[in-house]
Structure 1
C-alpha cells in the first residue's frame, strides 16, 4: 500500500516541471557588442500621435497665436476648468492643423526634422529665433502575456527600453518564455514583428531595445506552463481515479 502511494507521489511530481537558472536569468549568453550598443534613440512621429507643441521667444506676444490654451466651455458659453496646453492630433495623412501655419506634415518625421520645419515656418516672419518644444502627450506601450501585471503604460519622457516596459509590468513570471519575446511595431503603415532573446546580451543592441510609441511587447508562456494548464484541468479527476484504484487494490489484496 505504501509503495503504491509512493509511486503515485513520484508520478505527480514528474508531471510538474523543474525550472533551472539557465531558463530564467537575463543576459547570461553571448558577449556584449559594445560597438553596436547605443544610448541614442530617435522618436518618429506617427498618425494618431497627440502632440503638445510649445513656442517661446523673447517676444511673448508674438508667440501667443501659436500657444492656444485648451479650455472647456460650459452651457453659458464661459470657459470652465483650468486651461491646458493645446494638443494636435496627427491624422491618417500624417498632418496636423497648426494655428496660422495651417497643415504641417509631421507623420513619419523625426523630432529633429519637425523642429527644423517649424523654425523655418515661424522665423523670421512670425517669431524671431523661436524656441520650440514638441512632446507626445499619448506616448504609451503595451505589455501582455506571461507577466505579473499586464497592461498599457503611459510614458512621460518618451524614453523607454524593453527592460523598462517589462519592469512596469512587474517582470516576467517564472513561466514566461524569455528567449523569444515578441515586439510588434508599426512602421510605414505596416505591422512589423521583432523577436528578442532576453537571455542574450545581444538584446542590448537590438533595434527594439528602445521602444517607440504604441509598441506592443508580448511574452509567450513556456511549454511547461501550457502543459501545466492542460494537466491542472484534469488533476481533480486524476486524484479521484487514483484514490479509487488504491482503494480497490487495497481491498483485493487483503
Structure 2
C-alpha cells in the first residue's frame, strides 16, 4: 500500500513539473537577434527608399529667388480667414489610379513608382523652361503604418519622416507582448491593389536584410500569438462554457424545486 501511495506521489509530482515546464517561456521565444555576438559589427546591404503609390497624398512646394515667378506652379486655394482677409493655402496632390498627379501649368506628371528624389528631378526638368534654379520641397503626407496582434498598443501610427523600420514601428506600439510570436511576424504590403505577404524573424540578425525590414506607407504589421496564448485562450473559453452550463443547471434546479 505504501509503495502504491509513493508511486502516486511521484506520478503527481512529474505531472506538476511537466505543466510547470510547459507553461514557462523559453529564452529563444522572446529574445531579439539571438545570433548576434557581443561587439559584432553587422554591415547591412539592405537599401530601401519608398516609392509613390496610387492614392498617396503628396505635398509639393516650388520656390525660386523670384517669389512671384513660382506662384503659378503651386497648387493654392483661397480660404477666408479672420475678418475679411482671404488667406491662400497650399493644397496637396493625390496620385490617381493611373499613377499621375495634375500639376499646375505642367499638366499630368507620372510619379507612380518614383522615389521622392526621382520625382524632384522630373519636376525640375519640366520646370526648366519656366523657372531658373527652382527649389522643390516634397513630402509624403499619408505615411502611416498599422500594428496589430500581440503588441501592447495596437493601432495605426503616423510616421514623421521618410523612413521607418519594422522595429521602430513595433516601438511605436510599445513593443510586443510577452506572448507575441517574434520569429514569424507578418508584414502585409499593398502594391497598387496587389497584397504581398512577407514574414520576418526578429529573433535573428538576418532580419536586418529582410525586404520588409524597412516599411512602406500603409504597411500592416501583424504579430500572431504563441502557443501559450492560444492554449490559454482555449482554456479560458472552456472554463467560461463550464461556468455557463453550471449556472444554467443551478438555475434550472432552483426553479424546479421552487415549483415543487
| TM-score (norm. length: structure 2) | 0.78
Asked if structure 2 preserves the Cα contact closer than 8 Å seen for 1:33 and 1:205, the reply is: no
Corresponding pairs, count: 231
Give the secondary structure class of the aligned counterpart of 1:54: strand
**Distance of aligned partners of 1:130 and 1:202 in 2 relative to their CA distance in 1, 3 Å threshold:** same
Greater CA drift, 165-174 or 14-23 = 14-23
Q: Is 1:164 matched up with 2:168? A: yes
Whole-angstrom CA distance in 2 between matches of 1:70 and 1:191: 36
State the match for 1:185 in structure 2. 189
State the match for 1:49 in structure 2. 56
State the match for 2:208 in structure 1. 204
Task: Find the partner of 1:26 among 15, 32, 37.
Answer: 32
Aligned positions of 1:1-254 closer than 5 A: 10=16, 14=20, 17-29=23-35, 34-38=42-46, 40-72=47-79, 79=86, 83-123=88-128, 125-187=129-191, 189-235=193-239, 237=242
Larger Rg: 2
Q: Deviations over 1:161-208 (max 9, x none)?
A: 101100001111111000000111123642111110000001112121
Whole-angstrom CA distance in 2 between matches of 1:203 and 1:214: 20
Whole-angstrom CA distance in 1 between matches of 2:85 and 2:230: 59
Asked if structure 2 preserves the Cα contact closer than 8 Å seen for 1:50 and 1:88, the reply is: yes
The structural deviation recorded for 1:20 is 2.2
The structural deviation recorded for 1:25 is 0.7
Give the secondary structure class of the aligned counterpart of 1:183: strand
Give the secondary structure class of the aligned counterpart of 2:153: coil
**Distance of aligned partners of 1:158 and 1:29 in 2 relative to their CA distance in 1, 3 Å threshold:** same
RMSD over aligned CA atoms reads 3.1
Structure 2 segments unaligned to the other structure (5+ residues): 1-7, 247-260
Asked if structure 1 preserves the Cα contact closer than 8 Å seen for 2:75 and 2:90, the reply is: yes
Asked if structure 2 preserves the Cα contact closer than 8 Å seen for 1:136 and 1:158, the reply is: yes
State the match for 2:257 in structure 1. none
| TM-score (norm. length: structure 1) | 0.80
Structure 1 segments unaligned to the other structure (5+ residues): 242-254
